[in-house]
Structure 1
């Protein structure tokens, strides 16, 4: 997706929204000859104008202000735009609301007001399509008559989809009060945010759907100014508000952006200010929230510039901590008024700029989720300090009126000694609703581009390099031809780094290409010698300069290296008698008479195993099923080739794997480097790769829960896997077990001589490009998310015609939500998509967090099935689900719940299992009484056995 910064002619963008198809709707006003006209424009995702329309009132006034201040998109694609006009209405300025179709054509336009000045500052759309307008009124409400007229009250109107008034109410006190933002909560409540002089502070009201006040609170810093300008309600009902607050620091008054997170009753969860000074408390602070609770703030500051305002954007985590912060300015007065998030979580910022040299211009920016614009010469990091604020919260008691004006006047009493007293008067003040008649004028706007960058250019750079690779043979010299061709940009310079290919000896690891003009190509040849046979990824790191923009990317090509001979190992002389143990190593013998071994199985191990059969081969090793002399069936893993690098990888695998002993990890029984390197491990009859997909969502969730159990244990040992995929998740009696720790890495390791390999379809973004960060335990969480996605949908989240396309999509695309491919997956969709967040900070931060979400989903279903089984007196089914719940809560460390379901299981278990369950329940009870919060490996293993035996008695398993 391209990122850009563009201006759209004279004017100011005051509001922005993003349609479901990714189009951007921007609203504000254009200026000409001291007259303002409201505009609405529709842009495509690249910032190109689809249409740009001005809604001209035709007023002949010398000065007129017809401005749009907010915009929202209805569920049917209609555009609702609000503002105020002094060209139509009952008098003064009136609230102005228009409903447009998706092409900007007016469906209806109306004004709402009284004899004085009335303003609309914000709009929201209720679930039933009603339109909620919030602003301020001087025509109605309660207040005082001052020198400039009546004071203002907060004004909220609820309109139906045709603009008819359902209700309209004023909220306020004796001084000026205003609403700057409005949002509709998931339960239908209306949250209104603004500023109050009557109660002195930032003001928040929670109204029911009829406009009745549920609660009202003022948030204020003693003796300082505070106000709210934006509000967002999270799915759980929490409220995030953005505003400004005046704070004193070293005898200097600072006007700072101010963000608060509140619960659904308005109580403060946290409150923070960000040191980026403004000169005017009324300057807008716009916020938007993402599904994970993170917050994007758009405003302006001159704290980090040479005395001129800069657009300022911050991304905060759900606790208000800064993830990143950046300023954007071409050198003059630039401000942000609004922010919105696209479906792929890009950030759209709308405002104005004076930096074009042609006065005030509409300015929009499209930023990536991490805020970075490569090669941008007007983008800078800021370093604002985050300060906890100490705003106090007070309940307020405003008057709520409708259709009247209430005010105080002074009256004189007495004939001789006249006295003055204040008297309240109430008079009817009917709301006047009128049709307005603005004409629509289409403007042909050609945006002026300040910045443009398309990440697809990385794909073009990868495509500009092609390889001619012959059949590679272990130990044999070969010549590969690398060709660079520029067919997408005016100028391209390339530098290739081949140092990551440890399986090759190369005559050089760096190749430089001269600058290529469009249409030119250059080829270079390189002598390479494969060190050993197998399947490998040929990696080329590319540094490029395309039209002056510096970029880094990587191209990966799978290659096969054939064995030099058919036999993998030299055959040493072996004695004719069975080996006799020696102080150092045993002496191998040939195969016993009558025992047939596969041709590629090392004869040095013939004395240890019988009934050997090849069951798998990868890029590193072959795996055999074999029977030990004691009759136990095991799996034996043998490296494909022997050299120094293979030995290091093999030792790493042994070192990490030996530390891992867990029911959800394949057990390593034996390992040695003599007589040859080999691993002997637990034999599992199948793998996730062989299961038919999609699986039932509940089954898939339980599998992923147990894989997570194994990962949680490995991570606790400081070991990450880095190559999770269905073929590495083996199944034994239905229990998933993680295998192949050959790519695992100790997390505390700081030096590595090789770049870890991975399977591209399951690779996390940080494994494909370091711009996403350094791989860590959260990379395993991503890969588990890919597996989960595949299990419930039957397809991968990122697919392509070749591996380069797959890697590109992992870095840039968002997966199709699983619920769209399999409606039954809707309940776990948020779990899967959280695993697949490209930003590691937005994923689950530990496997335990992921397990908690899975346990919540599974617990609801298992409890429901247990209740249903009990109702129909189905004892085997009840035992099955009681066993599932017991085991799940044991793994989560919730011994209280585990004991509860172990007690249920005692009642429904049959035969010899009854005593085993009673014993297990007693052990859990004992741990509870001792205040322990974990089950212990021995207890978990016992519970696993019992749960498995119970499942064998349940016919559906």
Structure 2
């Protein structure tokens, strides 16, 4: 090989071969010079700015020129040069040779050669020379980096006669046979298009548009997605094509000897006829310079005044834009085809935005309107308009939600937030408006969640005549913060009522209706008024109040004081408990509706509490000062009397911390029994409640049930109203449906449908697992605030219990996920799949509680919170004691000792020694020991270290 440098000095002979012409082709194009080589010119390439030209000739040489036509150097290869390409700044050149080599040069000379399996038809280089593409006769497309490392290759199945790479290397186009291929940088084939003849050359723009020259005389132009946009038929096969970097201009060389120059739309701007076939063409990035290689051995170099051409072509369009008020100063300063097309698209987008804003019919918006005439700010404006529409949509949605929610409850808090959003919208702060409008929506949801109606009823009438109708007002006031719908009123059977109707009562509103009453009894008659109602989202509530009405032939001037008790919503439940009782009981036909005078000598400070099961409950103080609850049958008939004695029969056998204690009972002088007075029931607690607290409550309830089951007694009617709380300790009450397990347990009995087990619905055998089901329903309700099975009537509820699966608790309350398996096992319809005993249920509850208490203990210890540490450590001791686990009790007692005072530490040491002795002697962990441990833990919790 011969390598030669040709500099300005000493190259006069070669320099003369570049014939300077400056021949005008049209108003915009000039043939600047021609250089004749020693053979037909099969390959040419021009740098991005037109400063350098590279040519490959049939004489086997690579020629390198400057813009003035001066030959700077040439390089002789081993065969003819089929293709050349130059980087944007002409620092690197690549050439493809008939010897199968890809040659890579910089300005100092040859850097590397890569040998393919056949002659290299075509090469192309990216603008910054980072990537090189080559097409070979061995049917492969080759992709290299600047160092000559082969990154990938693609086999087409035919000679690859042309390749081209976009300026940034993102797109690679190749032709092989009749097919045009488009790849991305990773070698992934994006599309291919089959043309009706051989494709001789291809070129790709920076944005992926492709031009192809074909044997069928046509120039084809494709979009980046492979759609054919246009074609142009020349006078012969098209050997070479090239597209400017932005895809604005296309150059083609044909067998008819002509160079063709098109704009992006396929319009022929000019053509020039050479002395022979045009084998190769190339265009600079901005189309200011065009180079062509001809079969006559000539390198033809053209200059194109694109700004002058575009000014003539688009001058009227630009003037029209200016007259319409659009800022075109930047475009006029430097006109280019791509810039005109960009402005055209931008102005179209501005007009679309103007139309959208006009359709919104919003006053103001001066800041936005000022930008509607500046094409350079269209992206900024589109983002702002998009935000404006989001804000408008969010405000309208919030306004609609406010109106709808306002029909249900007080929304003043949300109204203020919406006003703030509307104010920000008016000042153009659309992001702030969106944020506030969304906040308004969230607040409305919270308002709906926390709001509820609360109906209070007043019955002013204090006295009536027996069997006479009398008109009276009934006053209902909604003291809650949500409107009440479907308000229905029911009176107890002691009176007949006319004039009741369904109402709607707004939050804070009071309504008065006129009714007529006729009493059925004589004396001081307690009349219960029950109100059921719904809120706007369908949640159901009820409240109940008892009024004492004096029914006599003579109405006193000053009526006696009213004994009344208002129970909060959701706190009252009907409880029907007929049953079998001892034959020796013969009830009286009636009983007083107030506290019976027969018992008045035994109690003082009597207050009516409410109704539980078949009886009325009073709070009273015994002579010894102890405050108790006294339960008396509401009506004395045979069935009620039997149920009353039956409740006493089983209940008096049960003495446990987690069972309401019965102190005294008798059927004379009137049936009653005296029991432990509690603070409230589970039904009165807010739900859903803390999962750990709920698990501890259920564990303690199970403790009481375990005690009852061990004595052969099952409850069969567990529900929140029957679980009382005293000093936070749950206690099971109302054992009226309880059954001795050894008796037949398949008999039908009354029960509360919402908490009934499947075997109670179907009439199957009831046992301790029935209580487990009902305890599972209570657990579900405590952690979710919902019942697992619902229906509009008892039949629907029963069908749901027997046939449907409940919603998983964690879907209603994600925090319930850890206890979900426990709850769902309690609610297995097949009893054999449920927990088989309370001990089994307690073990799983204990595992959960241990994890929670240990975690809380660790956190509180890390924070040095002694009070909470003592609390959680004490709970771990109690939990272990109730499980009768000696070793766990010992382990946690040793920690609890750290939080005890001096006296407490001594007691703990004595207890530890006793436990170790019990373990050694294998003494059973009995109930008495559990109670002592409870007392000790309580002392430590209450002590100050």
TM superposition score category, shorter chain reference:
0.3 to 0.5
Query: Which protein is richer in strand relative to its size?
Result: 1
- TM-score of the two chains, using structure 1 as the length reference: 0.37
Query: Which protein is richer in helix relative to its size?
Result: 2
Q: Structure with the greater relative contact order (CA < 8 A, sep ≥ 6): 1 or 2? A: 1
- TM-score of the two chains, using structure 2 as the length reference: 0.37
Higher Rg of the two aligned structures: 2
